């Protein structure tokens, strides 16, 4: 078994669903596209995306001797109904369980340590979506999936309900081939977006996206914005995608829905204090969102008469 096969075997043993490899320079040509996207103001107030944009296309800015980018998928789809009962505010599937940053970092570190045993002296660096690397672009270049028209990466078996983790490595591994675009003439995701954030196929104006407005935006959503009952994130474009009709269920138990998250009520949230908020959402991505910001969203929902009982 060669080193490439050993790495793949170890990744699957650690629970990753799929592993592919891209060359270190696979997305250097994405810089003009990134600069154009930033120039349109689509990043909103995520100013960090505008810092050293060229580095986001070049993994050697993080690991100078990087030769390969190992791209890994970890599915998070739990085959439960989206919402347990009517009248509850909605939380995106990716936020139902434990914070994926911590789960992925743990697995990526374990994989890096394992490769160091197989190839002593190699250098490596794990990255999740908090690092300045274009994860989706590398995932598409490696054949982990293709970039769907909703801008997320689609895998034939996992749909788009999966997290992407990258392991930058000095190893020279044989790269995989990119997959063909499987979206064809479908535009279901474009049609369902309530704010017109998908301004073109594969072009997301994040500053208009309900998910951005409810998770990343530092200011309250613009007056009159209809969040469609979403309190944290938004899955509408994913729910509309044919590849998400029956994706492979997650094999990571930490992504199972926690009690009190999937069925969160807006009025319930308005009654929380800081201690209750911290206790309820400890160890989840929702904890990263400030209570006062979520309460502002919940208050708007209640005032608008949205179906957010509780």
Question: pLDDT, tens digit, for every residue of 278-292?
Answer: 999 999 999 999 899
**In a shared domain, residues 8 and 141:** yes
Q: Do 215 and 291 belong together in one domain?
A: yes
Q: Which of 16, 229, 183 is nearest to 110 (CA)?
A: 16
User: Does residue 156 share a domain with residue 193?
Assistant: no
Is residue 36 domain-shared with residue 152, that is, in the same domain? yes
Q: Which of 136, 169, 202 is the last residue of a domain?
A: 169
| Domain co-membership, 290 together with 230 | yes
Q: Are 62 and 131 in contact (CB under 8 A)?
A: yes
Residue 175 counted as domain residue = no
| Residue 97 pLDDT class (50, 70, 90 cuts) | very high
How far apart CA 248 and CA 88 sit, in angstroms, is: 26
Helices (H) and strands (E) in the chain, counts: 11, 10
pLDDT at residue 259, as a whole number: 86
Q: Quick one: 26 and 153 in the same domain?
A: yes
pLDDT of 86 > 80? The answer is no
Whether 105 is covered by a domain: the verdict is yes
Q: In this structure, is residue 181 part of a structural domain?
A: no
For residue 129, indicate whether it is catalytic.
Answer: yes
d(CA 88, CA 107) in angstroms, rounded, equals 33
Whether 29 maps to a domain, the answer reads yes
CB atoms within 10 A of CB 279: 12
- 89: pLDDT strictly greater than 50: yes
Residue with tokens 């951005």: 212
Tell me, yes or no, whether 161 lies in a domain: yes
Residues 211 and 283 in one domain: yes
- Domain for residue 183, yes or no? no
- Whether the CB-CB separation of 60 and 66 falls below 8 Å is answered with yes
Query: Within this chain, do residues 124 and 156 fall inside the same structural domain, yes or no?
Result: yes
> Which is catalytic among the residues 25, 29, 113, 129?
129
Domain boundary among 108, 135, 169: 169
To the nearest whole percent, how much of the chain has pLDDT over 90? Answer: 72
DSSP letter at 206 equals G
**Do 131 and 273 have their domain in common?**
no
H or E element: which one contains 22?
A: strand 18-23
Domain that holds residue 53: 3-85+93-169
Residue 73 falls in which region: left (phi positive, over 0), alpha (psi -120 to 50) or beta:
beta
Domain count, the chain: 2
Q: What are phi and psi of 237, to 5 degrees?
A: -65, -35
| Structural domain ending residue among the three candidates 109, 142, 169 | 169
d(CA 90, CA 263): 7
Cα distance from N-terminal residue to C-terminal residue, the chain = 56
- In a domain? residue 285: yes
Four-CA torsion 273, 47, 230, 224, nearest 10 degrees: 100
Q: For 150-180, what is each residue's pLDDT tens digit?
A: 999 999 999 999 999 999 999 999 999 999 9
Residue 229, SS3 per DSSP: coil
Residue pLDDT, tens place only, 206-232 = 999 999 999 998 887 777 788 888 889
Place of tokens 């989840």: 284
Report the distance separating Cα 211 and Cα 72, nearest Å.
23
Residue 250 in domain = no
128 and 104 Cβ atoms separated by less than 8 Å: yes
Dump pLDDT digits (tens) for 19-43. Answer: 999 999 999 999 999 889 888 888 8
- Surface-to-core class of residue 185, CB atoms within 10 Å of its CB (0-12 exposed, 13-18 middle, 19+ buried): exposed
Does residue 150 share a domain with residue 74? Answer: yes
Question: Per-residue pLDDT for 106 more than 70?
Answer: yes
**Confidence tier at 310 by pLDDT (50, 70, 90):** very low
Shared-domain flag, residues 56 and 109:
yes
Claim to verify: residue 223 and residue 136 sit in the same structural domain: no
């Amino acid at each position: 078994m060669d080193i490439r096969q050993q790495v793949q075997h170890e990744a699957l043993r650690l629970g990753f669903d799929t592993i592919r490899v891209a060359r270190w320079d696979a997305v250097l040509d994405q810089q003009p596209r990134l600069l154009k996207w930033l120039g349109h103001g689509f990043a909103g107030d995520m100013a960090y995306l505008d810092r050293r944009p060229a580095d986001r296309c070049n993994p050697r800015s993080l690991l100078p001797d990087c030769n390969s980018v190992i791209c890994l998928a970890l599915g998070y789809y739990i085959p439960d109904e989206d919402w347990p009962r009517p009248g509850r505010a909605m939380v995106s599937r990716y936020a139902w369980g434990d914070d994926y940053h911590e789960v992925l970092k743990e697995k990526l570190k374990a994989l890096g340590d394992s490769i160091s045993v197989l190839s002593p002296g190699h250098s490596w660096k794990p990255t999740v979506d908090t690092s300045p690397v274009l994860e989706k672009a590398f995932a598409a270049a490696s054949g982990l999936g293709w970039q769907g028209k909703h801008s997320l990466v689609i895998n034939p078996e996992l749909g788009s309900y999966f997290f992407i983790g990258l392991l930058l490595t000095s190893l020279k591994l044989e790269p995989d081939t990119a997959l063909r675009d499987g979206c064809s003439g479908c535009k279901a995701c474009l049609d369902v977006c309530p704010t017109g954030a998908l301004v073109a196929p594969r072009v997301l104006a994040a500053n208009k996206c309900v998910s951005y407005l409810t998770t990343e935006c530092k200011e309250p959503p613009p007056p009159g914005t209809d969040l469609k009952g979403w309190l944290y994130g938004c899955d509408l474009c994913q729910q509309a995608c044919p590849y998400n009709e029956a994706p492979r269920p997650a094999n990571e138990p930490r992504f199972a829905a926690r009690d009190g998250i999937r069925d969160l009520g807006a009025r319930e949230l308005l009654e929380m204090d800081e201690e209750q908020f911290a206790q309820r959402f400890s160890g989840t991505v929702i904890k990263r969102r400030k209570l006062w910001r979520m309460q502002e969203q919940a208050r708007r929902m209640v005032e608008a008469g949205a179906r957010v009982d509780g």
